[in-house]
Amino acid sequence: MRANIPWRPVRLCTALALALAVSACGDRAEKAAEGEEPATAAADYERGPHRGRMLRDGDFALEITLYEEGPAPLFRLYPYMKDKPLDPKDVRVAIELRRLGPKIDKFTFTPEADYLASPAIVHEPHSFDVSVTAREGGRSHAWSYASYEGRTTISPDAARAGGVTTARAGSAILGESLPLNGRVEITPEGKSDVIARYPGRVMSMNAELGQRVRRGQVLARVESSESLQTYSVTAPIAGVIVEKNVTVGGITGAEAMLVIADPTRLHAEFFLYPRDAERVRVGQPVEITSLAGDHRLVSRIEAILPTADLTNQTLVAHVPLTGPAETWRPGLGVKGTASVGATPAALAVHTKAIQPFRDFEVVYQKVGNTYEVRMLEIGRRTPEWTEVLGGLDPGAEYVVDGAFLIRADIDKSGASHDH
């Protein structure tokens, strides 16, 4: 006996694209043409005393429940004769679940208390075509029905209009990254003190803060206190005067008269905390971004200095900066992302493909024009890739872009978690 179950059609009604709404009727016609078994709403079948699905054949009935209060979902079957409980020892039952793919899960049952139980787990998603056979009192019974969740069918035209793209699950290289904070500084080679060769009085000075000077340019004349001879003080490097410590008439000695900095010779100084220091190495690539997000470049760590602060035990990583002088300003903060490792994953999916579904993280697998959730067991995760430890087969085609459209259509269809 085959259960004759009414069907509520799955309609694709979304305002995201007019083409999607127009294609809904085409989807339904396509399903009918392909002979698909439609999804069943929770109210469309009889429920038994344990809130399970009642299957009837004459005076014999079998209530199928999915027990989900333990560590894993298991079938529990309750037999009845003329609506009264029947000793489960007098009944033999087998169930086959045909999944999208296709894949078939088989279950055999043994009596336990007042029900029949199977040790096999009913794995997620609980979406399948069900075949049930039973034997009692020398009589045989058979039923079949569809029990779908997280499944919908969308035509190729509607999927294209909704921006749905797919990829095949396979191996990937997972790049491990480390976020860093730092600031822009002038390199040691790009900064120089201007010091008088001999102590004396400053007789004249041709230098102002912010003034750009060239290497060898005369900046001051000093009268030696010892010889009373006047000599010239020149710029040791080209750059901009950033400090001025003496004026005309002042006495200069071993301290710097002026400080010159070359604003084109810059690096980023990133602070490394002890928990991260062991993962960072010279030569690793770093993506550097200004705090406003306007400027971005990729460079490499050129040096890691030892502990600079005995209190917080931080290390400092130096990363060269290139580009126009106005792009990076000394003293301003920057953000960095260091690539600290790359390891292979035997099976991975694009991170952006992962969506929430009930209490799970899922992707939507595509088989023909049908899409269905796949609950994932997730390992390592990066912005680009996520390692899959279970729940998806290698080579499976899954939705990368447009997964929100699939989820919206499933929500509208009412293909919810119900048994």
**pLDDT at position 291, please?**
85
Task: With a cut of 50, say whether residue 251 has pLDDT above it.
Answer: yes
pTM value surpassing 0.75: no
Tell me what the mean pLDDT of segment 347-362 comes to: 94
User: Which comes out higher in pLDDT, residue 382 or 85?
Assistant: 85
**pLDDT category, 41, cuts 50, 70, 90?**
very low
**pLDDT category, 309, cuts 50, 70, 90?**
low
Rounded-to-integer distance, Cα 230 and Cα 387, Å: 73
Rounded-to-integer distance, Cα 273 and Cα 93, Å: 62
**pLDDT at position 415, please?**
53
Task: With a cut of 90, say whether residue 190 has pLDDT above it.
Answer: yes
User: Nearest-CA neighbor of 222 among 250, 241, 243, 244?
Assistant: 250
The one-letter amino acid code at 235 reads A
User: Nearest-CA neighbor of 233 among 190, 192, 197?
Assistant: 197
Helix or strand holding residue 230 (H, E): strand 230-234
Report the mean per-residue pLDDT for the chain. Answer: 87
Rounded-to-integer distance, Cα 157 and Cα 170, Å: 27
Q: Which residues contact 317 (CB under 8 A, 6 or more apart)?
A: 180, 182, 269, 270, 272, 280, 286, 301, 303, 304, 305, 338
